[in-house]
Amino acid sequence: MKVNFWEILGAWVGAFFVISVMTMLWKDNPYFRFGQQAIIGATIAHMVLFNMKNVINMALIPISKGQLLLIIPFILGLMTYTRLLKDYAWIAKYPTSVLVGVGVGVMIAGTLRGQIIDQVKATVMDVFAATTATDTINGVIIAVGTVTAITFWIFTREHTGALGMSAKIGRVFLMISLGANWAGEEVWYLTQMIGRLIFLIEVFIKGALLGIA
């Protein structure tokens, strides 16, 4: 098998960082700390590179071609740096205001339909659009879960009596949902762990160390 120097070096470097991260499960140590400091530098550089590319492509080049309006966001971006100057720190409020204003507008528009109206519609249709008795029962269970879960988040009444009972039922639904979410993520992370072990065994130990891949 042809040995590629860069592949072998990549396996060594990769294994170095994989093991560095994993050692944090044991306890804090200088090896982990070194890996962590290295990756901070690397990710900031990665982010800076991509963002600079965006600034050049989306602002500087178009500005040089006459799209002068783009000077505004570019200057707003520069204004964030006034945070570093004690007397002019307040200027940084302007870019924040533009970003939050746009963000809130986008949020309100997207949330009303997707997370409220459509959810209400789906709750009704789960019951009435069902074609079998089982689906209808499931639809009713979903509706009960939705309504009781909402009552759990009622804050202006103490959770006693009927509201208390409803909130308690809602909490059971919520717990099942949390358990299922945990399981979905746990099995995914298990796969990731196995993937790293395969890398360490097949690529690093067998390939780079023993040369038997």
Partner 1 sequence: MQGKGPPRSLWERLGEIDYRWLYALSLVLMVIPILRPFGLPTVVSEPTKGYYKAIVDLPPGSVVAVSFGSSLALLDEQEAQFIATWKVYFQHDLKVIFYCTYADSMIILNEELDKIVKPESYGKAYGVDYVRLPYAPLGESGEAAFATNIRGVYPTDIYGTPLDEIPMMKDINDHRGIDLIHFQYTSCTDVEFVIRQWVVPYGKKAIITTLGCCGPMAAPYYPTQIKGFLSGSGMGTELEVLSGNPGPGAVMSDAKNLGILGLLLFLLLGNISYIGKKFGGKG
Partner 2 sequence: MSFARRELPTIILTACGVLMLLAFFTPFEAFTTIKGTLTSWTIVVAATSTWLGFAYMSYAQYRMYQRNPTRIQLIYFITPFAFFSLFLIVGISFPGNVSSPQYLWLLSSIYQQVGATIYAVMFFTLASSAYRTFTVASIESIALLLGGVIYTLRQIPLFPVFAPWLVPVGEWILLVPNVGGGRGAVICAAMAALVVGIRTLWGKEMTMVEA
Partner 3 sequence: MIIRTGTYFDLLFLIVLVIASWYYMNKALRGEKLPSLRKIPAIDAISEGVGRSIETKRPVHYAMGASGGQLYSTLVSMTLTSIAFLKYISKLCARLGSRLIVHMPYQAESIPLIETTAREGYLEEGKPEMFRLEDMRYYGQGSLTWSQGITSSFAQEGVGLNLEIGIFYSDCPISLEMAKIMGGMNVGGTGRWIMVYAFAMMCDYVFLGEEIYAAGAVVSENPLMLSGIVIEEVGKIFVFLLLAIGFILAAIGMDVGAFFAH
Stretch that binds partner 1, among 81-89, 147-155, 160-168, 181-189 (CB under 8 A): 181-189
Closest CA to 37 of 54, 53, 21, 49: 21
In terms of C-beta density within 10 A (0-12 exposed, 13-18 middle, 19 or more buried), how is residue 74 classed?
Answer: middle
Name the minimum Å distance from CB 68 to partner 2. 13
| C-beta of residue 74 within 8 angstroms of C-beta of residue 67 | no
Q: Cα(181)–Cα(95) distance, rounded to whole angstroms?
A: 37
Positions in 100-159 near partner 3 (CB under 8 A): 100, 102-104, 106-113, 116-118, 120-121, 123-125, 127-129, 143, 146-147, 150, 152-159
Locus of tokens 């789906």: 122
Placement of tokens 């990769």 in the chain: 14
> Is residue 190 a contact residue for partner 1 (CB under 8 A)?
yes
Q: Based on the shown chain and the rule CB under 8 A, indicate whether residue 57 belongs to the binding site for partner 3.
A: no
What number of chain residues touch partner 3 (CB under 8 A)?
Answer: 69
Q: Which of partner 2, partner 1, partner 3, none does residue 202 bind to, with CB < 5 to 8 Å depending on kind? A: partner 1
Judged by phi (left if over 0) then psi (alpha if -120 to 50, else beta), residue 185 lies in alpha
> CB of 194: closest distance to partner 3 in angstroms?
17
One-letter amino acid of 37: Q
Considering CB distances under 5 to 8 angstroms, the limit depending on partner class, which of partner 2, partner 1, partner 3, none binds residue 201? Answer: partner 1
Candidates 36, 73, 136, 205; binder of partner 3 (CB under 8 A) is 36
Best CA proximity match to 204, nearest among 47, 14, 31, 36: 14
Residues 163-182 within binding reach of partner 3 (CB under 8 A): 174-175, 177-179, 181-182
